[in-house]
Structure 1
Amino acid sequence: MIGAAPLASLPLAMFYAPSSEAPVQVGPNPETGELQITWPTLPDSVIVEPVGEQPQPGVPYSFPLGLAWRWRLRVRIDGVDLSHRLVGTVKVDREEGVAGLADFTLMLDGVFRREDWYGRPVTIDYISESLGGRLISRRFTGRITLPKLNPRSRLLICECSDALQQRVGAMEVAQIDALVGGLWSADIFDAVEGRSRWDYALERLSSRPASMDCSALGDIRITDWQRAETPHFRFGFDTTLDGSVKVELGDVSKMINVVEITFTVRFPRLHQLNRGYGWVHPGMAGFSGLQGFCSYRADTTELPDRDMIRAAVESSGQTMLGGSYTMLPPTGVYCNPPLPWINKFTDLVLAASFTAGRRWSQSVTETYTLRLVHQPGVATSGENVSRESFSFEVGRDRASEWESGVFSDGSSGHEDAREDERRLLAGACTLQQGRVKLWQASRTTTLMFETLTSMALGLDLIHTIELDDQGAFGIGKCRRLYDTFDLDSGMAATAIGVAIMDGGGGSSDLLVMPAHSTSPPISGGVTALSTQLGGRSNSPPFDEERDGFAGNYSMIDNNVGQEPYPRRFAITAPEIPETLRDEHKVSITAEYQVAIPADPLEL
């Protein structure tokens, strides 16, 4: 720890640039014993102004630190250096997921006008000097959001922000999509138009285990939560300020280890049921064509016409889809022996084979229950469940068009107007959100410590940090950087917060939506229609309920007073089963194991 020990006795500290596997080393030169910092690749937020040769890109460069550091701040407002007017303490607070903040106090020179200060761009640089060289580290880039003047002391307090929310809110949707990535579903969230773009960005981010923040240079970026395999920074023995190492342990009762998602998808099932019908006049005696006509001619009766058959189909609630007919032949000479035949009604039918169809829609509701489980967490403390639900409906317009539209073809069966790409996207989005919720609940422990700012140059929220000092050992991702530059005492310190994942490992399944439900096809079958003929003494009573053709013989024998039959053609469509008409409900369940990394922490 840094405290009573002189700076010259500080041991080696290492940190890594994320773009290079080689370590950046901070510590004594093995040959001279003088402290130095060596970068394989210079961080973007650090500028070296040494005496002598400038560092070359990609070439290791060592900067001497000597036995101590001298430091100062450079605060520029609208490009003008006002560092000489700084008083008191300058603070910079940058944390994952929120806007970076800074505040400082200036001695006011001249008249105060609000418009001279509101929204002015601000940069804060930390300058460390040693043995004739300088390191310039950008600590903050933003704007003044609230200037406060004390008229008596003429001190101007400037509160600043990197305006993360406002800048994201001014982006186009395509820009946010490219920046954030993630998944987004219109069936889970409200429409984008007319809403906050910041909220939209957070909705996309909710499917990623990551945060959005700004770098010290003011660049908006996405920062993953998972630590790197190899730490970028290592803080070993005597690299932290005395008494600064602390741990805030997460509350086990708030560590969610099961996420249960219930969502319903309602869609129409579009049915078509075709049925074949056949009718043959009994007088044809089983023959077809002219032979059947000659048999019928021996004892003629009334016959139906095609319009009667079509009307019968329509009155049954079905639609004629086509057929074939054996027509009464036109006037001519037929049969054996040949006999003349006169036909004044050319649309009469001796036999018919046709298909009729019906269309209707059936509401189907699929209820998905998806459980994401972090098994090590359940084994440790029992189930701590978070539940969510949502629903959406698709295909309503298609159902209306299906039932009311005109059709003339198609086969028996059904089509689900499910728009499955929406189901898959909504499911994938909510599964990823559940995974993120489990990760988030596991990273509530924070390891905190302070070090001299000159020993943490180049460190950022994107980095993985290892600490092994003052009885604490831990590795995790940096979640907060808090600089305090006390101009009165000369102390420049950086407080560092490290997120520790309390995951405990576990196995992990692919977060893939289960298959949707299916239903067996339906078949319409075939109906043979009968014939009732009246006008004879042996004709049975007319059956009103009987389908098919009804008519009378041409030569009647009505000697017992029977009423003649009505000439008609009747069809009754089969009843549709309730299972194909009533709402069909399906329950589908799936469970997924979610692994959460375990970050080491020993106290």
Structure 2
Amino acid sequence: MSIAAEAIGAAAIGGDSPAALVLEYVTTPWPITIATPYVRTLWPVTVQPAPEQRVTTPWPVTIAPPGVVATPWPVRVLPASVVGGLDGAASWAAAPNGLWTAVVTLGGADISDRIDHSAPVRVRRSRNAAALAEFTFLPASNLAPQSLIGRAVTIAFAQQGGGNAQRVFTGVVQLTEVGLDIGSIACLCTDRAQEIWAAMSREAIDDAVGGRWHAAVSGEPDDNFRYMEERLQSVGASWALDVWQSPRIIPWRAAARSLTVRTADVDEGSLAIELPTRDSLRSRIICRFQYRYTLLRYRGAIAQFNQPLSFFVSWYDFTTGELLKDSVQWLTSAMVESAASSLPDWFATTPLTILRPTPGSYELRRPFLDPVPPYEGSLGGTDSVTFVLPPDVAPSLATGFRQEYGALWQQSVTRDYTINVVWPEIEAQLGGPVWDEIGATLEAEFDQPDWGRDVSVEPAIPGAVGLGDASLAWQPEGADEAAAEVIMRTLLDRAWVSLWAASRSGRVSFALACRPDLWLDTRITVEHERMRAQGDVEQVEHLLDVASGNATSEVLLAVGMPGNADAPHPAWVLPPAPIDEYFPPVSAYSCTIGTYVGGDPESPPFDDSAMVGFVTNREGAAVEGREYYPHKLTIRAPDMAAEDRDPRELVSETEIAVAIPTDLLETIV
């Protein structure tokens, strides 16, 4: 009898409880077959049912079947061995056996099996340049090579056998070359970058690029591609098309992906560094901006002359009765009207006022002629001499006049700004300034020739009345203060980007096992026993030897001055407009009208250019040897100083210190 049978028999008889079975040796007379293994123990075994566990939540939970997402385009999931691990080229198993093949379509047809194995397939991508590709194929039939120009081309690198293809180029055939020995056709292809950018609207470019642009800085570009390039000068970024020919703006130091390359990752002997040179570096950019506009000017001046009646009549010595001076030839109203109406470039702003003597009889007593000392003595036994001015004569005479004038003219004003944008740290390191100069001119042209000759022609100058000055700066929209500010900010942005571009003119180059995913949006850190550097991919060239399947990626990094520090775009504080410190003298507002009497012993020789005003002579018999003048009245308008009439240049010079982003760059010698 088996032990198992004894145990089962004991269980069948019973025990202390259903849950506690005591195994005992029992002899049974029949055989029992055990289908499953068993365990015998010398101690009691208790079996308890598993407790039921539940979780209660205060919110409803719905369990739904898995969803299915459909896309209108095919999706290929690459294995982790293909794309996994951007940290280190060696960790990226591009192809399981490290061998590649090219998948090429030409005009939509797959020509991969006709690719010439004796020539490489090459794809080069650079920042700020069109992507280029080269391949050679053997045509299936005779064709004209020129018929290939403009045909669509795609190139992908795939594992040998065609798996895990990754596109590296999309474009068109640019030119062809026939290999006469075997009848092959070599194709040089481009991604049509210039055409694609040129086809974009300026609004789309503005949204993509940002930055600033003004025709006064760049001129009017030929097409929108040139417009994009000019606008990009104010932004720390580059342009390119991606592998699908989509336009992309790639910021500096803000790459989408990062990669670390170590000594073991690169091909032996391929790692090289070219540091920025003093010739390529810049420590300052001089921004010259000239804002030229027309200042519309007004000036009010006065012509005023007055002489007392005693000036015109005879002079006597009342003590002795001697005639001291004869009367002078009178100023006439006609002379005043003629002279007052002939001021070149000036126009009357008030009516002409002529002061005329009152007709009647005047006693020429001493107090009348000379109030001090009081009258004493007699004149030949009489107390006075009577001067009679008839009523029909008085209106034709004048003792003075008054007339206000105005003048309108244009003056060219140029604000000449010089703004030195300086990177002090690099200037100290270079031992002195190394600079470039950029500039722009904004001109607000005034093209209304009748203005100034016809007072009714707009624009009117506010406050252009009476004596004094008033002006209006002609600054129409697009050539006004707002436009001048945009231009200055554009120049300053370009200066800062120019300093940054010069600082990142160093290059690190190396080659590694083919990385078809590597593009210009990647920032690479190079770890080498004698160098640590970090920079943006400036250029990557994929080269495939079709015959062997071996492929490499040759990389060029843009690196700059060491420091590895960011620097924000400056918040520019524009310099104030220069101040014109010239103020006209008081004489600028009054006409020249002198008084010159001929026939006196002290009368100087007549000088027509110097004797401007009322020119007269003593009446009576001419005395030999004395100077006599022509009887006339002239008025000279106020002289315009050079500061008032000549082109004016107001100078402002400012220096702005800036910080520039720097890269990780360490060398160990």
TM-score of the superposition, structure 1-length normalised? 0.68
Q: Which residue does 1:427 correspond to in 2?
A: 488
- Please report how far the alpha carbon of residue 404 of structure 1 lies from its aligned counterpart in structure 2 after TM superposition: 4.5
- Kept in 2, the 8 Å contact 1:253–1:384? The answer is no
Q: Which residue does 1:337 correspond to in 2?
A: none
SS at match of 2:275: coil
- Kept in 2, the 8 Å contact 1:258–1:385? The answer is yes
CA distance in 1, matches of 2:639, 2:486: 38
- Kept in 1, the 8 Å contact 2:267–2:512? The answer is no
- Kept in 1, the 8 Å contact 2:172–2:189? The answer is yes
Amino acid paired to 1:211 = S
CA distance in 2, matches of 1:307, 1:477: 86
In the alignment, is residue 272 of structure 1 matched against residue 290 of structure 2? Answer: no
CA distance in 2, matches of 1:145, 1:76: 15
CA distance in 2, matches of 1:171, 1:348: 81
CA distance in 1, matches of 2:562, 2:449: 50
User: Can you give the 5+ residue segments of structure 2 that lack an aligned partner in the other structure?
Assistant: 1-72, 80-91, 310-328, 357-390
CA distance in 2, matches of 1:122, 1:517: 59
SS at match of 1:202: helix
SS at match of 1:276: strand
Q: Give 2:534's match in structure 1, choosing from 475, 478, 481.
A: 475
Q: Which residue does 1:371 correspond to in 2?
A: 420
- Kept in 2, the 8 Å contact 1:99–1:165? The answer is yes
Cα gap change, 1:530/1:592 in structure 2, threshold over 3 Å: closer, same or farther?
Answer: closer
**Which contiguous aligned blocks of 4+ residues in structure 1 show a shift greater than 6 angstroms?**
63-67, 301-307, 342-352, 527-534, 543-552, 557-562, 564-569
CA distance in 2, matches of 1:513, 1:401: 37
- Kept in 2, the 8 Å contact 1:304–1:568? The answer is no
In the alignment, is residue 261 of structure 1 matched against residue 290 of structure 2? Answer: no
Q: Which residue does 2:544 correspond to in 1?
A: 485
CA distance in 2, matches of 1:512, 1:594: 12
Q: Which residue does 2:578 correspond to in 1?
A: 517
- Please report how far the alpha carbon of residue 47 of structure 1 lies from its aligned counterpart in structure 2 after TM superposition: 5.5
In the alignment, is residue 108 of structure 1 matched against residue 157 of structure 2? Answer: no
- Kept in 2, the 8 Å contact 1:106–1:157? The answer is yes
Post-superposition Cα deviations, 1:149-199, rounded to whole Å, max 9, x if no partner, equal 22432322221111223444555666655554443343344444xx46544
Cα gap change, 1:503/1:196 in structure 2, threshold over 3 Å: closer, same or farther?
Answer: farther
Q: Which residue does 2:347 correspond to in 1?
A: 319
Q: Give 1:355's match in structure 2, choosing from 404, 407, 412.
A: 404
CA distance in 1, matches of 2:116, 2:553: 19
Q: Give 2:77's match in structure 1, choosing from 33, 41, 49.
A: 49
- Kept in 1, the 8 Å contact 2:302–2:402? The answer is yes
Amino acid paired to 1:80 = A
Amino acid paired to 1:210 = A
CA distance in 2, matches of 1:579, 1:128: 79
- Kept in 2, the 8 Å contact 1:209–1:225? The answer is yes
- Please report how far the alpha carbon of residue 99 of structure 1 lies from its aligned counterpart in structure 2 after TM superposition: 1.0
Residue pairs, 1:22-101, within 5 angstroms: 48-49=76-77, 71-88=100-117, 89-101=120-132
CA distance in 2, matches of 1:307, 1:398: 39
Cα gap change, 1:566/1:387 in structure 2, threshold over 3 Å: closer, same or farther?
Answer: same
Q: Give 1:450's match in structure 2, choosing from 505, 511, 516.
A: 511
- Kept in 2, the 8 Å contact 1:268–1:362? The answer is yes
Q: Give 2:277's match in structure 1, choosing from 252, 255, 268.
A: 252
CA distance in 2, matches of 1:582, 1:345: 46
- Please report how far the alpha carbon of residue 476 of structure 1 lies from its aligned counterpart in structure 2 after TM superposition: 1.8
Cα gap change, 1:67/1:140 in structure 2, threshold over 3 Å: closer, same or farther?
Answer: closer
Residue pairs, 1:583-602, within 5 angstroms: 583-602=647-666
Q: Which residue does 1:413 correspond to in 2?
A: 470
How many percent identity over aligned positions?
23
SS at match of 1:598: coil
Q: Give 1:223's match in structure 2, choosing from 242, 245, 250.
A: 250
Cα gap change, 1:263/1:68 in structure 2, threshold over 3 Å: closer, same or farther?
Answer: same
Amino acid paired to 1:247 = A
CA distance in 2, matches of 1:153, 1:434: 54
Post-superposition Cα deviations, 1:239-270, rounded to whole Å, max 9, x if no partner, equal 72342651322242223223443646355444
Q: Which residue does 1:18 correspond to in 2?
A: none
Cα gap change, 1:114/1:245 in structure 2, threshold over 3 Å: closer, same or farther?
Answer: closer
- Please report how far the alpha carbon of residue 111 of structure 1 lies from its aligned counterpart in structure 2 after TM superposition: 0.8
Amino acid paired to 2:104 = V
SS at match of 2:194: helix
- Kept in 2, the 8 Å contact 1:140–1:217? The answer is yes
- Please report how far the alpha carbon of residue 215 of structure 1 lies from its aligned counterpart in structure 2 after TM superposition: 0.8
Q: Which residue does 1:240 correspond to in 2?
A: 265
CA distance in 1, matches of 2:232, 2:411: 37
Instruction: Please report the RMSD computed on the Cα atoms of aligned residues, expressed in angstroms.
Output: 5.0
- Please report how far the alpha carbon of residue 470 of structure 1 lies from its aligned counterpart in structure 2 after TM superposition: 6.2
Amino acid paired to 2:538 = R
SS at match of 2:244: coil
Cα gap change, 1:405/1:250 in structure 2, threshold over 3 Å: closer, same or farther?
Answer: farther
CA distance in 2, matches of 1:238, 1:247: 12
Amino acid paired to 1:81 = D
Amino acid paired to 1:484 = L
Residue pairs, 1:129-208, within 5 angstroms: 135-169=164-198, 179-192=208-221, 195=222, 198-208=225-235
Cα gap change, 1:506/1:592 in structure 2, threshold over 3 Å: closer, same or farther?
Answer: farther
- Kept in 2, the 8 Å contact 1:449–1:496? The answer is yes
- Please report how far the alpha carbon of residue 83 of structure 1 lies from its aligned counterpart in structure 2 after TM superposition: 1.6
Q: How many residues align?
A: 513
- Please report how far the alpha carbon of residue 94 of structure 1 lies from its aligned counterpart in structure 2 after TM superposition: 0.4
Cα gap change, 1:460/1:244 in structure 2, threshold over 3 Å: closer, same or farther?
Answer: farther
In the alignment, is residue 441 of structure 1 matched against residue 502 of structure 2? Answer: yes
SS at match of 1:165: helix
Q: Which residue does 1:499 correspond to in 2?
A: 558
CA distance in 1, matches of 2:338, 2:247: 71
Cα gap change, 1:163/1:172 in structure 2, threshold over 3 Å: closer, same or farther?
Answer: same
- Please report how far the alpha carbon of residue 593 of structure 1 lies from its aligned counterpart in structure 2 after TM superposition: 2.0
Answer with 97-106 or 268-277: which moved more. Answer: 268-277
SS at match of 1:474: strand
- Please report how far the alpha carbon of residue 514 of structure 1 lies from its aligned counterpart in structure 2 after TM superposition: 2.5
- Kept in 2, the 8 Å contact 1:256–1:442? The answer is yes
CA distance in 1, matches of 2:286, 2:348: 47
Amino acid paired to 2:525 = E
Answer with 443-452 or 392-401: which moved more. Answer: 392-401
CA distance in 2, matches of 1:246, 1:440: 23
- Please report how far the alpha carbon of residue 306 of structure 1 lies from its aligned counterpart in structure 2 after TM superposition: 10
Cα gap change, 1:199/1:175 in structure 2, threshold over 3 Å: closer, same or farther?
Answer: same
- Please report how far the alpha carbon of residue 400 of structure 1 lies from its aligned counterpart in structure 2 after TM superposition: 5.4
Q: Which has the higher strand share?
A: 1
Cα gap change, 1:211/1:393 in structure 2, threshold over 3 Å: closer, same or farther?
Answer: closer
Q: Computing the radius of gyration over CA atoms, which structure comes out larger, 1 or 2?
A: 2
Q: Which residue does 2:524 correspond to in 1?
A: 465
In the alignment, is residue 388 of structure 1 matched against residue 414 of structure 2? Answer: no
Answer with 399-408 or 215-224: which moved more. Answer: 399-408
CA distance in 2, matches of 1:172, 1:346: 78
Amino acid paired to 2:638 = P
Cα gap change, 1:65/1:406 in structure 2, threshold over 3 Å: closer, same or farther?
Answer: closer
- Please report how far the alpha carbon of residue 140 of structure 1 lies from its aligned counterpart in structure 2 after TM superposition: 0.6
CA distance in 1, matches of 2:279, 2:597: 84
- Please report how far the alpha carbon of residue 105 of structure 1 lies from its aligned counterpart in structure 2 after TM superposition: 2.0
Q: Which residue does 2:638 correspond to in 1?
A: 574
Post-superposition Cα deviations, 1:196-239, rounded to whole Å, max 9, x if no partner, equal 654444333333332222111111222222345xx722325577
Cα gap change, 1:393/1:141 in structure 2, threshold over 3 Å: closer, same or farther?
Answer: closer
User: Can you give the 5+ residue segments of structure 1 that lack an aligned partner in the other structure?
Assistant: 1-44, 52-62, 284-300, 329-341, 535-539
SS at match of 2:136: strand
- Kept in 1, the 8 Å contact 2:559–2:665? The answer is yes
CA distance in 2, matches of 1:278, 1:490: 103
